Amino acid sequence: MYKVDLNADLGESFGAYTIGMDAEVLKYITSANVACGFHAGDPLVMQKTLALAKESSTRIGAHPGFPDLMGFGRRNMNISPAEAKAYIQYQLGALMAFAKAAGMKLQHVKPHGAFYNMAAVDEKLAIAICEGIYEVDPELIVLGLAGSKHIIAAEKVGLRAASEVFADRGYMNDGTLVPRKMPGAMIHDRQVAIERTVRMIKEGCVESIEGKIVPIKADSICVHGDNPDAIGFVKEIRERLLAEGIEVVSIEDVIGK
């Protein structure tokens, strides 16, 4: 029996600005990564996002980013391991307070944007992130790029790790994501993206933009739902997974306790 989690980044609105279609996405996913105020999100948005997730019985996780509202957390920052750990713990603390108030518990942590991509290739940064998480709650699961240094770091620190793959992103030969500024970064053909996803789960591999077959582990699939077309994609990918005999469950149900 194949099992996989469907996750999405939610709670990324800020003040008067609305980003994403969170209530719609929550109908189809099993884990939600909730922005914690550094790259997006604010106290009211965090509170509302958790309420929506509770209503749909979706497991929740923290989505901490760089302190970069202007750049939506997608710009690399030169920070020390101590800063990385503090950024993680600060944002975890904020979301945990809202979770406790709502009678909910965090399942996982998935860094956002540049924080995530840098941790995939920088082991010192990844270790700092994982140590920051472990010191707050060693039961939390790290959600990181499949095959990356982030996954290795989590295991070294003593955290459970879940390997994440992306339905609509291109891959390089080394298993990293194609940078967004490069051609082939995004896969716009819905059927191609779905076929690739099924292959990642069932065959454990993905074809890079240069045609190389790259081994990959798929515990969780990241799907985006920030426009009406994307909502259709999320719905369709879930239906296809179920039709393929792939059970769609939360991260913890995939990797175990």
What tens digit of pLDDT does each residue of 190-248 get?
Answer: 999 999 999 999 999 999 999 999 999 999 999 987 767 778 899 999 999 999 999 99
| pLDDT (tens digit per residue) in 176-192 | 999 888 999 999 899 99
The domain ranges of the chain are 2-255
% residues pLDDT > 90 (the chain): 91
pLDDT of residue 8 exceeding 80: yes
Average pLDDT across the chain, whole number:
95
pLDDT of residue 1 exceeding 90: no
pLDDT of residue 200: 97
Which pair of structure tokens corresponds to residue 109?
């942590």
**2-10 vs 220-222, strand pairing mode:** parallel
Angle 254-64-23 (CA atoms, 0-180°, nearest 5)? 65
User: CA-to-CA distance for 235 and 51, rounded, in angstroms?
Assistant: 22
Cβ neighbour number for residue 71 with a 10 Å cutoff: 14
pLDDT of residue 180: 84
pLDDT of residue 195: 96
| pLDDT (tens digit per residue) in 98-121 | 999 999 999 999 999 999 999 999
% residues pLDDT > 70 (the chain): 100
CB 217 within 8 A of CB 7: no
Q: Per-residue confidence at 36, pLDDT binned at 50, 70, 90?
A: very high
| pLDDT (tens digit per residue) in 120-159 | 999 999 999 999 999 999 999 999 999 999 999 999 999 9
SS3 state at 143: strand
**Which CATH architecture is the domain 2-255 placed in?**
Alpha-Beta Barrel (3.20)
DSSP per residue, 187-248: ---HHHHHHHHHHHHHHSEEE-TTS-EEE---SEEE---SSHHHHHHHHHHHHHHHHTTEEE
User: CA-to-CA distance for 248 and 4, rounded, in angstroms?
Assistant: 5
**Average pLDDT, integer, range 7-29:** 95
pLDDT of residue 226: 73
